[in-house]
Amino acid sequence: MFKKTTLENGLRIITAPMKGTNTITVLVLCGTGSDHESRELRGISHFLEHMFFKGTENRPRAIQIAEELDGIGSVYNAFTSHEITGYFVKAEKAHLAKSLDVLSDIYKHSLLAEEEIEREKQVVIEELHRDLDTPENHIWWIWERLLYKDQPAGWDTIGIEETIRSFTREQFVNYFEHQYTSANTAVVVAGNFDEASIGSDIAKRFADIRSGNPIREKPDVKEEQASPDIYLEHKKTDQTHLVVGFRGYPGLHESKYAAEVLGAILGSGMSSRMFVRIRERLGLAYTVMSAHESYSNRGFLVTYAGVDHTNVEKTIRAVLEEYKKIRDEGITPQELRRVKDQIRGRTSITLEASNAVANFVGQEEMMTGKPLTIDEIFDKIEAVAIDDISRVSREMMKPERLNLALIGPFEDKRVFEDMLNEF
């Protein structure tokens, strides 16, 4: 269970007590990310995340922040997505006050020093190059680029080298002041803490946060597709990385939970359809998985595999055949029961950790504004029927929603176009 409180300035406080742990996690979330960026600001949300650890008015040097958090044995980091930027500290429960103090300080009082910005530019570019050299990560950038083309939803969250090198301190300060506001912020605390005092402590620490609503809103997503589409990135790799899938449902869509169950049936675990077909029976891949993923305004159902170059066509055909089979023939009651129990069990195991609980509640809050308890989510999963799986399969698995992203040593995509056009 969790408790949500919204202060007069719009700041949201979410507390999730967990008596059976010795840790706490503090997660501060801002409802801004690459979806909110203009063309000239591509990557600024992620870059700004880096700058929060480079010094504040109270801790002018980056090493002071690091030493304080390392000194309590904490795990700390930050992340940026299309819609959210987050900062977290997970520590022993005795260090809740220190964790809150450091996070509130960097969130409110970061210096954004010009010399630190200039130095960090190369660091961010090296992170970009690392990701470009890691095809199992880069394939997801390509997948979103394929679906959403030249709009924020299709831009890589990290940005591009040209804009990263061009950013000025004035741009950082402007983005910071207009996006990091009280109404755009949620503070989540999960773990073992004093429930009686935590709310007032958070309110006090964040009392002087900038007020008002953010000025940069994310634009509507354009999803224009009439036939199967392909994005092929030619690259010399040891294996080909591919994603085959369909446009799906956004986070608040009534069919999201049915689509998530469908994704689990297809490719979650060693008993899933894709795993059994592609790894166990055909021996084509070590890694193969399927899932339905949602943002607040879009979603997709995907299957990923990394395979030998000589097995790419065979793998794609097998994936498409499994899609057709589940769409046209449906599933069994036993299969549905097994996957529901699998989702419940794995989710329960995951949520034994305070950081997982904080992420679970916080990201749902930022994406939907209506976070559900775990029992409410289990109820929605349990309500999914065989007819729901058949319906969402037919709705999603259409040629005009079908896409293939691929990284490998291929230059001619005609053979892949032919396979998709047969679907």
CA-based nearest residue to 72, from 96, 95, 88, 89: 95
Q: Which helix or strand (DSSP H or E) is residue 23 part of?
A: strand 23-30
Euclidean distance between CA atoms 384 and 336, whole angstroms:
9
> Which one-letter amino acid corresponds to residue 248?
G
Whether the Cβ atoms of residue 404 and residue 230 lie closer than 8 Å to each other: yes
Structure tokens at 143: 């997948």
Torsion of CA 245, 247, 252, 254, to 10 degrees: -80
CA distance readout (Å), 191 to 103, 199, 289, 340, 420:
17, 14, 31, 27, 48
Question: What are the residues whose beta carbons fall under 8 Å from the beta carbon of 74, sequence distance 6 or more?
Answer: 89, 90, 91, 92, 95, 99
Check if 83 is active-site.
no
Euclidean distance between CA atoms 4 and 209, whole angstroms:
19
What burial class does residue 19 get, using C-beta atoms within 10 Å of its C-beta: 0-12 exposed, 13-18 middle, 19+ buried? exposed
List the catalytic residue out of 8, 40, 49, 116: 49
Euclidean distance between CA atoms 265 and 393, whole angstroms:
12
Phi, psi (rounded to 5 degrees) for 196: -70, -30
Neighbours of 123 (CB within 10 A): 12
Distance, C-alpha 179 to centroid of its chain = 19
CA-based nearest residue to 262, from 316, 314, 303, 317: 303
What burial class does residue 40 get, using C-beta atoms within 10 Å of its C-beta: 0-12 exposed, 13-18 middle, 19+ buried? exposed
Catalytic residues, which ones? 49
